Amino acid sequence: MTKVITYGTFDLFHEGHYRLLQRAKALGDYLIVGVTTENYDQARGKLNVVDSLMTRIENVKKTGFADEVIIEESIGQKVSDVKKYKVDIFTVGSDWIGHFDYMAEYCKVVYLERTKDVSSTMLRNQNFKIQRIGIIGTGRITGRFLMESKSVSGVSVQGVYNPHVESAKRFAKKYGIEVYETKERFFENTDVIYVASPHETHYEYVKEALLHDKHVLCEKPFTLQKEQAEELFAIAKERNRILFEGIKTAYCPGFNKLIDIACSGLIGNIRYIDVCFTKLENKNTRELTDTMYGGSFLELGSYCLLPVFKLFGWEYEDVDFESIYGTGKIDLFTKASFKFEKGLATVTCGLGVKSEGRLLIAGTKGYIVVDAPWWKTTYFEVHFEDTTRVEKYSDRFLGDGLRYEISDMLNQINGNNKSEFKLTRKESVAMAGVMEAFLNKEGKG
Ligand code: CTP
């Protein structure tokens, strides 16, 4: 009996997939089809897969060509599958020519001609119109956002708006996008607005964008008042628009794995969280010159609140802030101490004090530690009373990480809503409440 194996994502199952499987089956007597998991696709940068693993498997099965379907979870699995299933022929489409020649050491390799003019990428782009993104603001993050958006198929950064027209022009020229001098023209030509303007302007811009029926991705901190956040989410709901806060960490695979492990009971009941984020800033930056809305807590606090709210919930009993100030009462370092029903949390942020950006989650059976930069989680360890027992976990973090939130936003817009739990409205509203409490305490509310 000749055994044949092939692999693929098989998203939005199409004729090319059907013909590939038909010819793969014809190469032998028994066909094994490996279908990729969502995690594996994410890890190799394929972020916009629409169909679930179950749907993709069902579609492969429906062809009647597969005698067995297996799951492909990681790079390097192919060789062990060939050995395990005693495979004679490995086959894939001609788009992979040369790529799998190394498999010839273990079995025969056949590249089948790829069917012309059809692919999942093409279908994804046809089924869902390209979302034209408009950027408000031209700070450092927007440049990174723009570069990251290039790795997500289905979006295109159309143009930029900034009341400082000269900055907008410079930015647009650098990145080859349009510059819109009036908001009317800006809204006319865009579907999704990325708000990355100074913190205190978020509320007005988000509201305006929603009232123009745009979807909105707003940089952290979303708003500086709880009521404003609630109002914006209510408008988004009423107008059926997607609105979410761009705390990139929330959408990254490593951070999500960390939260899953922390919630799994492995370290028992979580009782204490210690989280720190510091970034030494140049003295002339907005963060260190804006006496009203500059400073470390507004700049970095959202990141630190994320694991705390994810693990303890957003309803804290008490919070206390202590800061070290620079000129103009700008907080160079802030420590926020939270009391929750389930435990305690310490959040420290610094723009003028350097510390280790570490996340520690302590439980009744053990603790999890993520070294700096924990907000780009790629690796973490679980420790126990028995110091010889250490469990190690890792995951990919591609590029600047913004691609994950852009891709999740696109999925939400296209109705493939699988990511809302990663940063909920309630969490964003509660974070706005913490920002408000901090500003009130500073006498800036
Ligand atoms: N395939 C093919 N002809 C096509 C598209 C895909 O023969 N027009 C083959 C691929 O070469 C691969 C298998 O089908 O062997 C599964 O490919 P997959 O990556 O799932 O499909 P694509 O349409 O190429 O997906 P994407 O656009 O997301 O890369």
**What local confidence, expressed as pLDDT, does residue 375 receive?**
98
Instruction: Indicate if ligand 1 lies below 6 Å from the C-beta of 24.
Output: no
CA of 15 to the centre of ligand 1 (A): 10
Is residue 48 within 8 Å of residue 124, measured between CB atoms?
A: yes
pLDDT tens sequence across 193-227: 999 999 999 999 999 999 999 999 999 999 999 99
Is residue 350 within 8 Å of residue 299, measured between CB atoms?
A: no
* Closest Cα to atom 23 of ligand 1: 119
**What local confidence, expressed as pLDDT, does residue 405 receive?**
95
Close Cβ partners of 238 (under 8 Å, ≥ 6 residues apart): none
Gap between the terminal Cα atoms of the chain: 76
Distance CA 317, CA 373 (A): 29
Atom of ligand 1 nearest to the CA of 46: 28
* Closest Cα to atom 25 of ligand 1: 120
Strands (DSSP E) found in 214-343: 215-219, 243-246, 270-278, 318-325, 331-339
Higher model confidence: residue 416 or residue 147?
147
Is residue 91 within 8 Å of residue 112, measured between CB atoms?
A: yes
Atom of ligand 1 nearest to the CA of 91: 15
Instruction: Indicate if ligand 1 lies below 6 Å from the C-beta of 131.
Output: no
pLDDT tens sequence across 228-242: 999 999 999 999 999
* Closest Cα to atom 12 of ligand 1: 93
Instruction: Indicate if ligand 1 lies below 6 Å from the C-beta of 294.
Output: no
Q: Going from the N-terminus, what domains does the chain have, and what CATH number goes with each? A: 3-112 (3.40.50.620), 131-247 (3.40.50.720), 253-396 (3.30.360.10)
CA of 123 to the centre of ligand 1 (A): 12
**What local confidence, expressed as pLDDT, does residue 140 receive?**
87
Distance CA 144, CA 403 (A): 10
pLDDT tens sequence across 336-358: 999 999 999 999 999 999 999 99
**What local confidence, expressed as pLDDT, does residue 194 receive?**
98
What would the mean pLDDT of 14-32 be, rounded to a whole number?
Answer: 98
Q: With the C-alpha atoms ordered 256, 258, 259, 264, is the resulting torsion angle positive or negative?
A: positive
% of the chain exceeding 70 in pLDDT:
100
- Would you place residue 128 in the very low, low, confident or very high pLDDT band (cuts 50, 70, 90)? confident
Distance CA 395, CA 400 (A): 14
* Closest Cα to atom 13 of ligand 1: 8
**What local confidence, expressed as pLDDT, does residue 416 receive?**
78
CA of 422 to the centre of ligand 1 (A): 30
Q: Token pair of 16, please?
A: 């090319």
What would the mean pLDDT of 109-132 be, rounded to a whole number?
Answer: 93
- Would you place residue 396 in the very low, low, confident or very high pLDDT band (cuts 50, 70, 90)? confident
What would the mean pLDDT of 370-390 be, rounded to a whole number?
Answer: 97
CA of 93 to the centre of ligand 1 (A): 7
Instruction: Indicate if ligand 1 lies below 6 Å from the C-beta of 266.
Output: no
CA of 94 to the centre of ligand 1 (A): 9
Atom of ligand 1 nearest to the CA of 94: 11
What would the mean pLDDT of 269-278 be, rounded to a whole number?
Answer: 98
**What local confidence, expressed as pLDDT, does residue 418 receive?**
76
Instruction: Indicate if ligand 1 lies below 6 Å from the C-beta of 48.
Output: no
Instruction: Indicate if ligand 1 lies below 6 Å from the C-beta of 101.
Output: no
Pocket test for ligand 1, best of 17, 122, 123 (most atoms within 8 A of CB): 17
pTM of the model: 0.89
Instruction: Indicate if ligand 1 lies below 6 Å from the C-beta of 20.
Output: yes
**What local confidence, expressed as pLDDT, does residue 124 receive?**
87
Is residue 65 within 8 Å of residue 31, measured between CB atoms?
A: yes
Give CA angle at 223 (275, 287), nearest 5°. 65
Instruction: Indicate if ligand 1 lies below 6 Å from the C-beta of 8.
Output: yes
Residue type, 46: K
Instruction: Indicate if ligand 1 lies below 6 Å from the C-beta of 15.
Output: no
Residue 27 confidence (pLDDT) above 90: yes
Instruction: Indicate if ligand 1 lies below 6 Å from the C-beta of 11.
Output: yes
Question: Do the strands 379-384 and 390-394 form a parallel or antiparallel pair, or are they unpaired?
Answer: antiparallel
Pocket test for ligand 1, best of 95, 99, 117, 124 (most atoms within 8 A of CB): 95
Beta bridge mates, 31? 4
Distance CA 425, CA 76 (A): 39
Residue labelled with tokens 């890792």:
394
pLDDT tens sequence across 133-185: 999 999 889 999 999 999 998 899 999 999 999 999 999 999 999 999 999 99
CA of 420 to the centre of ligand 1 (A): 29
Instruction: Indicate if ligand 1 lies below 6 Å from the C-beta of 154.
Output: no
Host H or E run for residue 380: strand 379-384
At residue 387, what are phi and psi to the nearest 5 degrees? -65, -15
Atom of ligand 1 nearest to the CA of 93: 11
Sheet holding 331-339, edge to edge: 318-325, 331-339, 344-350, 270-278, 359-363, 366-370, 379-384, 390-394
Instruction: Indicate if ligand 1 lies below 6 Å from the C-beta of 59.
Output: no
Is residue 215 within 8 Å of residue 235, measured between CB atoms?
A: no
**What local confidence, expressed as pLDDT, does residue 136 receive?**
97
Pocket test for ligand 1, best of 11, 12, 20 (most atoms within 8 A of CB): 20
CA of 125 to the centre of ligand 1 (A): 15
What would the mean pLDDT of 39-56 be, rounded to a whole number?
Answer: 90
Instruction: Indicate if ligand 1 lies below 6 Å from the C-beta of 16.
Output: yes
pLDDT tens sequence across 283-325: 999 999 999 999 999 999 999 999 999 999 999 999 999 999 9
Residue 417 confidence (pLDDT) above 80: no
